[in-house]
Each structure stands twice: as structure tokens, then as C-alpha cells.
Amino acid sequence: MSLFAASSLPLRPARRLREIFLLMTLLWLAGCAGNPEMQTSDMGPISEQQDLSIERVLVMNHARDALGTPYRYGGTTPSGLDCSGLTQTSLLAAGIEIPRTSQQQFDALERIDRARPGDLMFFGSGNRVSHVGIYMGNNQMIHAPGSGRQVSIAQLGNRYWRSHYRGAAAPAP
């Protein structure tokens, strides 16, 4: 049988499965390539950071004061906060107004390459943002994680945060 005759035969099931697997793997890798790399810039403990603006310090102090506050969808008060309510009220404590939802905040604020303490960090999948937190330095953020939980500190080295990272913004000077 000639080479040309063999190429006109239908693909064998194993070969077809291998090609489908390869295509799916390439699509998956292309999807992962769309996430920006999470980068932070801080010089150690907050107490050692002399170059933070008063606004950044106020944002971080307000977020720290909210630790332990129960999560409440749409919440913007000390009796309950959601993630974007936490960021909105923390920035408002520093005199900075931002939109209400995490997606609106992400769309309205100019993105930065490297998060510093007091910056917002956004998470989601695809083109959508569904979560936001406040970067506190030392690879940590304060956020309101979800129903049944409380405002808490998250370690950003976790694979979940890295794979869902969408970007950062610096609304405070």
C-alpha cells in the first residue's frame, strides 16, 4: 500500500483520541496564559515601610479593624461585609471613593504591574472579576471570603489565588 493510499484511510480511534487530547491540552494552556503574573513589591513588615502614604496606612488600618467581621453579600457595614464592601469602605476611610462591586472597581481603576501594601488585588476567571482584597505586604491580603465566613487574612502563595489572579490597582497614592 502506498503512503498516499494510507493517508486516505480513516483515522484510527486511538490516533483520533490522541489528537483530541493534544488539542484540548493546547486550548487549556492558552487559557492559562491569559492570567497576568502576580507580582508584589514590599520591603518587609509594615512597621518598617517608611514610604507608605497616609492614605495607604488608613486603608490598611481600616481593613485590619474589619478582621472577624461576618461576610454578608452586599454588606458595607460593621455588621457584615462582602469583598467589595470591604475595599470600598476601607478606601472611603482614607477619603477615596471607588465603585461598589469588584467588577466595577476592576473596570474603573487603572491597573498596575506590581502590588504594594494598600493596593487592591482582583481575582476571577475568564474576563470576569468576582473577588477583591487589600494587599497587606508579606504576600498576604485581607478579604471577605464568602458566605458563612469572616473577613480574614489570606496567603497569596496558594495556587488558587495565583491561578485566579486578574490584576492589581492602586487607588491610594
Q: What is the pLDDT along the chain (173 residues), one digit of tens a residue?
A: 544 444 455 557 667 666 665 555 544 444 444 688 988 877 555 545 568 999 999 999 999 999 999 999 999 999 999 999 999 999 999 999 999 999 999 999 999 999 999 999 999 999 899 999 999 999 999 999 999 999 999 999 999 999 999 999 999 99
Q: Which letter does DSSP use for residue 46 in this model?
A: G
Active site residue 83: yes
Choose the catalytic residue: 32, 62, 83, 164: 83
Q: What's the pLDDT score for residue 2?
A: 47
CA 92, chain centre distance (Å): 21
Q: What is the Cα–Cα distance from 30 to 45, expressed in whole angstroms?
A: 37
Is the overall model pTM greater than 0.75, yes or no?
Answer: yes
| Cα gap 157→29, rounded to integer Å | 21
Q: What is the pLDDT of residue 158?
A: 92
Amino acid at 14: A
What is the rounded CA–CA span in Å between residue 100 and residue 111? Answer: 17
The residues with which 141 forms a beta bridge, in sequence order, are 135, 154
The reported pLDDT for the residue numbered 44 is: 55
